[in-house]
Structure 1
Amino acid sequence: MTAMTASRRVSIALASAVAGALALTACGSDSDGDKKSEGGKESAATAPERTLKTVMGDVKVKAEPQRVVTLDTAELDSVITLGVKPVGATRTDSKTGFPSHIPADKVDGVKIVGEMTTPNLEAIAALKPDLILTSKLRHGDKYEELKAIAPTVMTESTGLPWKENFLVHADALGKKTEAQKAVAGYQARTAEVTTALGGKDKAAAIEVNMVRFVEGADIRIYGKENYLGTIFKDVGLGRPAVTAKAVDGFMLNVSPEKIDMADTDVIFHSTIGDPDKAKATQVLGSPLWKNMDAVKKGNVHVVKDELWIQAIGYTGAGNILDELEAALTK
């Protein structure tokens, strides 16, 4: 088989899969999930559509989408928080392919549809979704292909605007009531953690830093304008002066020789990729690291990157708050 023939076959297969998904959207399906219930409740296939205004323009979605595909961790966290099990999701760096903070039963049976940066369009189409959730930042270049498969709702970006994005996801899923409960629960939990730390003044007196070791990149000291930064802020924790140097408030890249810039009252750190290649092994064993005040006082905590950096949602935030309280009240 020639390379050209192979390429044509892949293109034909993808076109067929997309056409099948479009036919399903237009005509409905004979599967059990699309039939009316015994009580006569309107099926997902025949439910009235709603028009959502998104960064990519107006998108028509079903009143309550039943077959949802998520293409990033934030969207996955959102649907799980809202009580929806997706039919497909992209892979994360964890052993199972799904973030470990999400209960196994919540993702049992969910199909992996490629990597976050390179979602498999054929695999997505094969699941016959009625809604795809992602962001323009991640997959804006694939929007035309994705919307040909199913209504695709994108937010502008991810990370910092996670609370606003969550409401977009909830609207797309028809889960506004559930969203209100999740937000209220988070607000109550952050207040509990602040109280556990001795109140607002004492919480503000504790300065915390987040350091991330990344394979193939410089070491990152996280600023205030990101997912984790908003959680620290909601609890009322202090942030050291170095965070003001973060580019766009997001993060500051440093070399191993500058790691002491991260020193403060409490340091949390995570690693993504190989610890040796990410310089974690080198730095954590260095005299410079060991001589930092937070290290000498035992106020350094190793955390999971897939939770503290990548979760980007209310379910993840709840887990972070639990670990944060445990670390700061020991």
Structure 2
Amino acid sequence: MTARTSSLTVSALMLALALLLGACSNSESPSGQASSSPAQTGSESGSGESPSSSPSSGPSEEAAPEAAFPRTIHAANGDVTIEKQPQRVAVVHWGYNDSILPFDLNSVALALPFTEKQSVLRTDAYKPYVDRLDELAIVGENTAVNLEALLAYAPDVIIAGNAINKDIVDSLTKIATTVVLDEEKTDVWGDWPSVVTEFGRILGQEETAAGFIADFRANVETAKEKLASIEGSVAFVQIRAKEAWLQGTNYLPTYYEGMGLKAPESSEMEEGAQLSLEGLSQLDPDYLFLGQFNVSDPSLPALSDEWTQSGVWSTLKAVQNDRVYNIDGQLALGYGPLGHSYGVQAILAALSP
């Protein structure tokens, strides 16, 4: 990726930065935590998107014609007019990263839920989207937005969320035109198509948004047909350093409802719950997917390494029948379209007869 020289001169940049930071000191603190999401207790992120449901219309009342500008977006921070089609787009809600990359853009700035080293930016699932960018700027890590880096990036438009970014909205609007999405109406945690649809309106790329969503749903349906002969229960467990979380059916409708997979019988299967090895042995699924969160950074520990040393582990049906599959938990058990696309393909590859 090539770096693009900012249109600001050094002196102008420093002056602008001094004025901005002087006016909004301490506004850079994180407004959301990567270790907890609104969608599920004990999980970093939610993913209640259902492939059979139509995407939400989002905050805009009616989409303007493709690429017609100026256009007005009805957002959580009022009516926002975008004068020209955005070319440099900054996304400061760490949950929206998956949803911006499918669009036809040359320059994107992102705030990350973790460090860049631990992020999924270099994974095979992200590679086709990242490689086609001329510029990818990081303007925040561990959910904290770096206003200085954002100002230096000089975005045409900033996209934010009214909950995650509530403490810095005033600061953002001083940097560039800012569209703040209502996170209840455009719910990335449970309905990423609503976010992708709204991004299409903001960017003047409605057809790109609709095409991506349609392709995703078609792929899920194809996967369901190919796995129709699978018998037995399938469980997804998020693995962290010292904790594990059973992912509920309400949290993973794309895989259970969309792909037709059968969940183990348990009172905790709908919402999911923190899980011990003993709890997993009681669940005893026929197929077990371990969503590892150290794939991008293998130096991080994983609780499953301890599990495999236990005699209880060897009693599991999935272990005895060689039906345990490690997948990237940040992607497959996340909440965005690229992560879900990876998950569908990873599950299909593992379970295909």
TM-score by length of 1: 0.74
Q: Any idea what SS the aligned residue of 2:225 has?
A: helix
CA contact under 8 A between 1:89 and 1:113: conserved in structure 2?
yes
**1:92-126 Cα distance to aligned partner (Å, 9 max, x none):** 45648525121241355311112141110111111
Q: Any idea what SS the aligned residue of 1:164 has?
A: helix
CA contact under 8 A between 1:221 and 1:251: conserved in structure 2?
yes
If asked which structure has higher relative contact order (CA below 8 Å, sep 6+), I would say: 2
Could you tell me which of 127, 136, 152 is aligned with 1:126? 152
Match of 1:90 in 2: 111
**1:268-317 Cα distance to aligned partner (Å, 9 max, x none):** 1123257875422212322222211112111110001232133x333333
Distance 2:264 2:95 in 1: 27
Match of 1:196 in 2: 226
Q: Give the alignment of 1:14-33 within 5 angstroms.
A: 14-16=17-19
Q: Does 1:317 align with 2:340?
A: yes
Could you tell me which of 272, 290, 300 is aligned with 1:269? 290
Q: Give the alignment of 1:1-330 within 5 angstroms.
A: 14-16=17-19, 48-62=69-83, 64-72=85-93, 74-91=95-112, 92=114, 95=117, 97=119, 98-100=121-123, 101-103=125-127, 104-107=130-133, 109-150=135-176, 151-156=178-183, 157-198=187-228, 202=229, 205-215=231-241, 218-226=243-251, 228-242=252-266, 244-245=267-268, 249-273=270-294, 277-310=301-334, 312-330=335-353
Shift of 1:168: 1.6
Cα 1:298–1:113 change in 2 (3 A) is: same
Shift of 1:194: 1.4
Distance 1:320 1:278 in 2: 20
Question: Higher Cα Rg: structure 1 or 2?
Answer: 1
Cα 1:144–1:197 change in 2 (3 A) is: same
- Amino acid in structure 2 at the alignment position of 1:191: E
Unpaired segments ≥5 residues, structure 1:
1-10, 20-43
Q: Any idea what SS the aligned residue of 2:263 has?
A: coil
Match of 2:49 in 1: none
**How many residues align structurally?**
284
CA contact under 8 A between 2:333 and 2:339: conserved in structure 1?
no
Indicate the percent of aligned positions where both proteins have the same amino acid: 25
Q: Any idea what SS the aligned residue of 1:209 has?
A: strand
- Amino acid in structure 2 at the alignment position of 1:139: N
CA contact under 8 A between 1:215 and 1:278: conserved in structure 2?
yes
Q: Any idea what SS the aligned residue of 1:307 has?
A: helix
CA contact under 8 A between 1:268 and 1:301: conserved in structure 2?
yes
Cα 1:269–1:17 change in 2 (3 A) is: same
Shift of 1:326: 0.8
Unpaired segments ≥5 residues, structure 2:
1-13, 23-66
Q: Any idea what SS the aligned residue of 2:195 has?
A: helix
Shift of 1:250: 4.4
Cα 1:185–1:301 change in 2 (3 A) is: same
Q: Any idea what SS the aligned residue of 2:145 has?
A: coil
- Amino acid in structure 2 at the alignment position of 1:239: A
Cα 1:58–1:224 change in 2 (3 A) is: farther
Distance 1:178 1:137 in 2: 27
Most deviating of 50-59 and 166-175: 50-59
CA contact under 8 A between 1:222 and 1:252: conserved in structure 2?
yes
Aligned Cα RMSD in Å?
A: 3.0
- Amino acid in structure 1 at the alignment position of 2:179: T
CA contact under 8 A between 2:235 and 2:287: conserved in structure 1?
yes
TM-score by length of 2: 0.70
